[in-house]
Amino acid sequence: MKTREFFKKKQVLSFEVFPPKRTAGIETIYTTLDGLKGLNPDFISVTYGAGGSENFGATLEIAASIKRDYGIEGVAHLPCLCLDQQEVSDFLRRCSELGIENLLALRGDRNPSYEPKGVFQHASDLVTFIKSQGDFNVIGACYPEGHSESQNMVEDIQNLKRKVDAGADELITQLFFDNRYFYEFQERCALAGINVPIEAGIMPVVNAKQILRMVSLCGSSLPPKFSKMIQRYEDQPEALRDAGIAYAVDQITDLVTQGVDGIHLYTMNNPYVAQKICQAVASLFQTKEGDHENAL
Ligand code: FAD
């Protein structure tokens, strides 16, 4: 099923997982998926490390298993900077063979260890190419606080419009910790004529170092309330985890109440945290028909 269909019926809940590091062994992901299954996500997306086609395998294998073994739609991420058309075609062919209909089309971050192929400059080029190759549902990334390489918000939103015009069916945001950025972003999208569903990407804090590293990579800003929480509990892992769960629940409650199209939880392969959050917010998600019925 194409994930865009879910948005017609309900507020969507989706998860993101990443393939385990080589030292951990691929099978560890199945413990994570076992823990996420009962939370009834509409889909689970699987990241793809920067670099070339040697990284295909794990992402595709996990996305296929999510669909085949867990009965949940699987989405494969595909960053294109270091791929050529033949490699993307091979990826799409494998997707078709494995029954993966949904892709998150990305440019990818520049990484000094990997040479860009110079074929796909922007994610919009990849979206156009995928749409020319078959009947795939294509998701795009977006940035409530603007992408770090953009000169300004106007340029960023114009580029996002190009991606949607190229065929992106829905969008997932970069993580953010202040919902006001998301609401302002929604308004900019509406003004620019970007009318596809936008899922809010929420990352619960479980580890101070990890979140500060993520934030330095993606440029999301930290509200004072959030920084205070990290400072206070950085040496108390359990307290920080619980405070991080409470913070994410607060963000999601507000977003769902305001009618967000969907929540995409960056699970960091941590089912315990996802379970706690879902227990707290599951009853809030609404169907489109009645608005009274729980959607999860
Ligand atoms: P683009 O849409 O190409 O945008 C990148 C920059 O180029 C922006 O500044 C944009 O304004 C500009 N731009 C876009 N189009 C044009 C144009 N036509 N002309 C001029 N400028 C343009 N990375 C991974 O490597 N693997 C993953 O699995 C992964 N998953 C992600 C999941 C989500 C939900 C998100 C939000 C990000 C993810 N990323 C992942 C990170 C992503 O690859 C980076 O943020 C990357 O820097 C930009 O990717 P993009 O697809 O948004 O690029």
Please write the tens of the pLDDT for every residue from 204-258.
998 999 888 988 988 899 999 999 999 999 999 999 999 999 999 999 999 999 9
Q: Is the CB of 45 under 6 A from ligand 1?
A: no
Supply the pLDDT for residue 149.
95
For ligand 1, what atom is nearest to the CA of residue 155?
11
Does ligand 1 come within 6 angstroms of the Cβ of 73?
no
| Assigned CATH for 3-284 | 3.20.20.220
Q: Whose CA is nearest to atom 36 of ligand 1?
A: 174
Q: Which atom of ligand 1 is nearest to the CA of 162?
A: 18
The CB of 220 under 6 Å from ligand 1? The reply is no
Q: Is 238 a catalytic residue?
A: no
The low-confidence residues of the chain, meaning pLDDT below 50, are: none
Residue nearest to atom 28 of ligand 1 (CA): 47
Atom of ligand 1 nearest to the CA of 46: 28
> How many angstroms separate the alpha carbon of residue 25 from the centre of ligand 1?
28
User: Which of 107, 111, 145, 266 best tests ligand 1's pocket when mutated (most atoms within 8 Å of CB)?
Assistant: 107
Is 188's C-beta closer than 6 angstroms to any atom of ligand 1? no
Distance 174 CA to ligand 1 centre (A): 10
- The best mutation among 47, 106, 148 to test binding of ligand 1, ranked by most ligand atoms within 8 Å of the C-beta, falls on 106
* Confidence (pLDDT) at 292: 56
Any ligand 1 atom below 6 A from CB of 124: yes
Give yes or no for a contact between 220 and 146, defined as CB atoms under 8 angstroms apart.
no
Q: What is the secondary structure of the chain as a DSSP string?
A: --THHHHHHB-EEEEEE-PPPTTT-TTHHHHHHHHHHTT--SEEEE---SSSGGGHHHHHHHHHHHHHHH-SEEEEEEE-TT--HHHHHHHHHHHHHHT--EEEEE-----TTS---SS--SHHHHHHHHHHHSS-EEEEEE-TT--TT-SSHHHHHHHHHHHHHTT--EEEEPP-S-HHHHHHHHHHHHHHT--S-EEEEE-----HHHHHHHHHHH-----HHHHHHHHHHTT-HHHHHHHHHHHHHHHHHHHHHTT-SEEEEE-TT-HHHHHHHHHHHGGG-BBTTTSSSB--
Q: How far is the CA of 170 from the centre of ligand 1 (A)?
A: 14
* Selected catalytic residue, list 5, 16, 184, 234: 16
144 lines ligand 1 (CB under 6 A): no
- Looking at the CA of residue 174, tell me the nearest atom of ligand 1: 36
In short, whether 201's Cβ falls inside 6 Å of ligand 1 is: yes
